[in-house]
Chains A and B, each alone.
Chain A
Amino acid sequence: DVKVTQSSRYLVKRTGEKVFLECVQDMDHENMFWYRQDPGLGLRLIYFSYDVKMKEKGDIPEGYSVSREKKERFSLILESASTNQTSMYLCASSWVIGPGRETQYFGPGTRLLVL
């Protein structure tokens, strides 16, 4: 079974703190993603990476950065946390089987509260 793990299930941080969220997948997937999920807004893509050291902005990259130094690990960084970054953060990984065929596998999520 594919396994995607996230470093924390729950996290409480203060405004202005630097926050690291880590994600690890064990299936040698090329693609990795970070989403945030908020009530009424669904899942929104923050960043994704299709290879080591490669990254592309998603829909809402402002206030976030990412790092992918190893294929299995994708980190999301909040340089200076703000209260509007309180959210559920979901990591996913996938590989592309063929055109239009890609199954994403999600981690359990990290619920971040910024005070």
Chain B
Amino acid sequence: QKEVEQNSGPLSVPEGAIASLNCTYSDRGSQSFFWYRQYSGKSPELIMSIYSNGDKEDGRFTAQLNKASQYVSLLIRDSQPSDSATYLCAHTTNQAGTALIFGKGTTLSVSS
């Protein structure tokens, strides 16, 4: 069964620090990977997508993908209290017509 593993947390970091969120997956055929942010009581919103090995930067966010090791990570630089949320990792499968596989999410808490 294809799975996505994330540490549920909470991950606590002080304001201004780097938050590192990790995700491992079991499906070697996965091609596309996504990070969603979900504030409490709200719907998930897409913050990053990554398709190739290496790093992808967007503002304070950097996604890192290593397909050989089957992990994807999200780094948040200069963490702010407003970054406090649950971060969901998701990936495609290698079966056309199959929906994304979501992890259970890691809760991040940034203290001021």
A and B: bona fide binding partners: no
